[in-house]
Amino acid sequence: MQPITFTNNAAQELSGILATQSYDRLFILCDTNTERHCLPQIPSTQCSTITIPAGDTHKNLDSLAHVWQTLVEGKATRHTLLINLGGGMVTDLGGFAAGTFKRGIPFINIPTTLLAMVDASVGGKTGINFFGLKNEIGIFRNAEHVIIDTNFLQTLDSNNILSGYAEMLKHTLLSTTEEWAELLNYDILEPDLNQLSRILCKNVKVKERIVLEDPTEHGLRKALNLGHTTGHALESFAMQQGKPVLHGYAVAWGIICELYLSAVKLSFPTDKLRQTVSYIRHHYGTPSLECKHYDRLLALMAHDKKNIGDTINFSLLADIGDLRLNQTATRNEICEALDFLREGL
């Protein structure tokens, strides 16, 4: 597992790390948003900047090729460092670019969104979207270091804060009732960054514990996919419709579906289901879905990486912290879960 540092001064932390290493060249990867809002906070005079278009629709082969080409033109070697400064799109793509360039060069992640801080930059998953499917191509590759500075969250709007908070909610459902209740009661729409940093540190440790036990997702790490079998399908569907949604919103909606399946199949407590669903509906709304879309969503779920053969696999819960992996559901059960997402009880 890569070292993770929580700090109030990412620039100073990065300078300290670089002072202990002997990289021959430094590159910093940004998207057009982080280049404007975040790069000025990083001492980049000794770094060559690589910029890619912002947005998950650009987490693709074209952006990946641009990063590789810039590294080649900049005479990068296996002793070159790539610094990924951005949200999950940047850390996913940058980690994949670094992990495959010359069979692997070191990289550091400096996540600038809540989603990247709690999820994308931590745990060694890297990759790109391909053929209309989320994260279809990728590798496991740990960063040399992850530097988390919640001051970057001041650059975000409330929708992007909420996007990351959905992954935090998922982590608490995998952990304890106390952490889950704390998250539901925290005012994420008017966040106190010092308090959020404390909650975030505790939240990241949930993922760290799971990843340390199962780094390449053969068992326990599948728990982190709670909400994602359905969520990735909803996200891919929205992208194909030309109406992309933020990853965390899709995950939040996926959590509703998969907690419904958990209640039906594993007796997940109804009161906790209602509280969680009420919170998600209040903060994330409801996706624009019709019954005629279900076949396409089921086809997208069939591409999920957890599946074995033609069976759609889910990570479900019998209770908060009571994980049940490799669960299956019938077509009718999945459609009922989608009905529940659209219409509630």
In the predicted model, what is the mean pLDDT of residues 157-179? Answer: 96
In the predicted model, what is the mean pLDDT of residues 127-152? Answer: 92
Backbone angles phi, psi at 68, to 5 degrees: -60, -45
Q: Taking the mean position of all CA atoms in its chain, how far away is CA 277?
A: 20
- pLDDT classification of 345: cutoffs 50, 70, 90: low
Is 67 domain-assigned?
yes
Q: Say what the pLDDT of residue 303 is.
A: 81
* pLDDT(173) > 70: yes
Total domains present in the chain: 2
Is 195 domain-assigned?
no
Q: Which residues contact 229 (CB under 8 A, 6 or more apart)?
A: 254, 258, 301, 304, 306, 312, 313, 314, 315
Domain co-membership, 178 together with 141: no
| Separation of alpha carbons 90 and 63, rounded Å | 10
Domain co-membership, 137 together with 220: no
Residue 90: other Cβ atoms inside 10 A = 30
Is 66 domain-assigned?
yes
In the predicted model, what is the mean pLDDT of residues 102-111? Answer: 97
Q: Say what the pLDDT of residue 137 is.
A: 95
Domain, as residue range, for 82:
4-155
Residue 234: other Cβ atoms inside 10 A = 26
Q: Say what the pLDDT of residue 89 is.
A: 94
Residue 242 vs residues 51, 237, 245, 334: alpha-carbon distances, Å: 24, 9, 10, 24
Is 202 domain-assigned?
no
Predicted confidence (pLDDT) per residue in 201-250, tens digit: 999 999 889 988 888 878 888 899 999 999 999 999 998 898 999 999 99
Domain co-membership, 117 together with 182: no
Q: Say what the pLDDT of residue 309 is.
A: 64
| Separation of alpha carbons 262 and 256, rounded Å | 10
Q: Say what the pLDDT of residue 343 is.
A: 87
Is 92 domain-assigned?
yes
| Global pTM value | 0.90
Look up residue 9 and give its DSSP letter.
-
In the predicted model, what is the mean pLDDT of residues 77-84? Answer: 97
- pLDDT classification of 14: cutoffs 50, 70, 90: very high
| Separation of alpha carbons 339 and 286, rounded Å | 11
Domain co-membership, 147 together with 177: no
Q: Say what the pLDDT of residue 189 is.
A: 87
Predicted confidence (pLDDT) per residue in 246-291, tens digit: 999 999 999 999 999 999 999 999 999 999 999 999 999 999 899 9
User: Which of the given ranges, 5-14, 131-140, 272-281, 294-303, has the highest pLDDT on average?
Assistant: 272-281
* pLDDT(1) > 70: no
* pLDDT(40) > 70: yes
- Average pLDDT value for the chain: 93
Give percent of the chain above pLDDT 70: 97
